[in-house]
A and B are shown apart, each in its own frame.
Chain A
Amino acid sequence: SQTIHQWPATLVQPVGSPLSLECTVEGTSNPNLYWYRQAAGRGLQLLFYSVGIGQISSEVPQNLSASRPQDRQFILSSKKLLLSDSGFYLCAWSGGRETKNIQYFGAGTRLSVL
Chain B
Amino acid sequence: SQKIEQNSEALNIQEGKTATLTCNYTNYSPAYLQWYRQDPGRGPVFLLLIRENEKEKRKERLKVTFDTTLKQSLFHITASQPADSATYLCALDMRTGGFKTIFGAGTRLFVKA
- Chain A binding surface SS class: strand
Nearest A-chain residue to B47, judged by Cβ: A102
State the CA gap A102–B99 with chains docked (Å).
10
Is B43 in contact with A110, judged by CB distance below 8 angstroms? no
* Residues of B with C-beta under 8 A to A24: none
Q: How many residues of B contact A (CB 8 A)?
A: 24
* Residues of B with C-beta under 8 A to A106: 43
CB distance from A55 to the nearest CB of B (A): 11
Is A7's CB within 8 Å of the partner chain B? no
State the CA gap A18–B102 with chains docked (Å).
29
Within 8 A of B (CB), among A87-114: 88, 90, 92, 94, 96-97, 100-108, 110
Is B103 in contact with A44, judged by CB distance below 8 angstroms? yes
* Residues of A with C-beta under 8 A to B45: 105
Q: Which residues of B contact A (CB under 8 A)?
A: 4, 8, 32, 34, 41-46, 49, 51, 89, 91, 93, 98-106
